[in-house]
C-alpha cells in the first residue's frame, strides 16, 4: 500500500492511497476516513461504492459524511469504480461503460475479464488491505453506494451476506438486467449468459436469498434516470415477495446528484451505526 496524502478531518484522518491489485491487474486507488476513535480501538468499517464516471474522490469530497462518521466512530472506505489505464480498446470514451463504470462484477468475457474484476477487488482484496493497515473491526462491516454503486452494494451484500452486517443505497440501479445501463454492461462483461446476469441483479437475488436485516434506500423523485434506469418499484415488489425488510423513501424535489446524497447521508450513517454497534 502506498500513501498518497493524508489530511486532518473532524478529529480524524482522511487519507488517499494506492495498492497493487492482482484482481484488476494494476494499481487501484482508494480513500479511507479514520474517525478519532480509531486511535484507541478497532472500529466498524463502511464501504461506499460510487457511481458512473466517479472515483474514490467523489463521495469523499462531496457527500459530507466525515462529520457524522467521526461522531459515530465509523471508518469510511471509498474504492475506485474500476481499473484505470487498462489500454483495452473500447474501455474509454463511453461514460456508461468501461473505465469508471466497472459495475462491481468480475467480467467473464475477453478482453474485460483480464482487468475488470471489481467484485473480487471490493469484497476480498481491498478489505484484506484495510484490515492489515487500518484499525478496522473485521466482524463489523457495512456496504452502501450510489447509482451504479447502489447496484453494487445491493448485489454484493446479497451475494456475500457473511461479509456485511448492514446495507443501504442511494438511487441504485435496482434491476440492471431490465434497463439500458445494465444491459449494456452485462452484455459486454458477462456476454449473453442471462443466468449470469441474474446473479448480478438485486431483484433476482433478493427473491432467493434475502439480506439479514433492513435495507434502507433513498430515491429522489426529480431524478432524470428514475423511470428509465433505476425503477425502484421492481425491487420494492421483489422484496415484498421475498419477505425482505425494506425502507424505500421517495423524496420530492431531489435529483440524482450529490446534493441529494449529502441531504440524507446522516440517516444512512446512523442506519449502519445502529446495526454495527458493539
User: Strand, helix or coil at 162?
Assistant: coil
Are residues 165 and 141 in contact, defined by beta-carbon separation less than 8 angstroms? yes
**Cα-based torsion angle of the residue sequence 152, 154, 160, 166 in order, rounded to the nearest 10 degrees:** 120
Provide the sign of the torsion angle of the four alpha carbons 200, 57, 263, 251, taken in this order: negative
User: Strand, helix or coil at 232?
Assistant: helix
Cα 236 to Cα 227: distance, rounded to the nearest angstrom: 14
User: Is 193 marked active-site?
Assistant: no
Catalytic-role residue among 146, 151, 200, 256: 256
Kind and range of the H or E run holding 259: helix 258-276
Catalytic-role residue among 146, 223, 268, 271: 223
User: Is 137 marked active-site?
Assistant: no
**Preceding amide of 183 cis, omega within 30:** no
Chain centroid to Cα 250, Å, comes to 20
| DSSP labels, 207-225 | HHS--SSPEEEEEETT-TT
The CB density around residue 21, as the number of other CB atoms within 10 Å, is: 22
Q: Which three cell numbers stand for residue 75?
A: 471508518
User: Is 147 marked active-site?
Assistant: yes
Catalytic-role residue among 147, 166, 168, 177: 147
Q: Are strands 26-34 and 75-79 parallel, antiparallel or unpaired?
A: antiparallel
Q: Which three cell numbers stand for residue 177?
A: 438486467
Q: Which three cell numbers stand for residue 109?
A: 468475457
> Catalytic positions, please?
147, 223, 256
Amino acid at each position: 500500500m502506498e500513501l498518497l496524502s493524508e489530511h486532518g478531518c473532524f478529529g480524524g484522518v482522511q487519507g488517499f492511497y494506492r495498492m497493487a491489485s492482482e484482481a484488476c491487474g494494476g494499481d487501484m486507488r482508494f480513500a479511507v476516513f479514520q474517525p478519532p476513535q480509531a486511535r484507541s480501538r478497532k472500529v466498524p468499517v463502511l464501504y461506499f461504492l460510487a457511481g458512473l464516471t466517479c472515483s474514490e474522490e467523489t463521495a469523499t469530497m462531496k457527500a459530507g459524511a466525515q462529520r457524522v462518521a467521526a461522531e459515530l466512530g465509523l471508518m469510511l472506505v471509498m474504492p475506485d469504480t474500476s481499473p484505470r489505464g487498462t489500454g483495452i480498446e473500447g474501455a474509454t470514451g463511453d461514460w456508461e461503460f468501461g473505465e469508471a463504470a466497472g459495475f462491481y462484477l468480475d467480467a467473464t468475457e475477453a478482453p474485460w475479464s483480464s482487468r475488470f474484476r471489481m467484485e473480487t477487488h471490493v469484497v476480498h482484496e481491498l478489505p484484506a488491505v484495510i484490515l492489515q493497515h487500518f484499525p478496522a473491526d473485521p466482524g463489523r462491516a457495512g456496504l452502501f453506494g450510489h447509482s451504479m454503486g447502489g447496484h453494487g452494494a445491493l448485489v454484493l451484500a446479497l451475494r456475500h451476506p457473511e461479509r456485511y452486517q448492514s446495507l443501504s443505497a442511494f438511487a441504485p440501479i435496482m434491476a440492471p438486467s431490465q434497463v439500458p445501463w445494465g444491459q449494456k454492461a452485462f452484455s459486454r462483461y458477462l456476454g449473453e449468459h442471462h443466468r449470469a446476469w441474474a446473479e448480478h441483479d438485486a431483484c433476482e437475488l433478493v427473491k432467493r436469498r434475502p439480506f439479514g436485516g433492513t435495507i434502507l434506500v433513498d430515491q429522489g423523485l426529480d431524478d432524470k434516470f428514475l423511470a428509465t434506469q433505476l425503477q425502484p418499484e421492481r425491487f420494492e415488489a421483489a422484496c415484498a415477495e421475498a419477505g425482505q425488510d425494506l425502507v424505500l423513501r421517495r423524496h420530492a424535489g431531489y435529483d440524482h446528484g450529490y446534493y441529494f446524497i449529502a441531504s440524507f447521508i446522516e440517516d444512512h450513517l446512523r442506519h449502519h451505526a445502529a446495526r454495527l454497534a458493539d
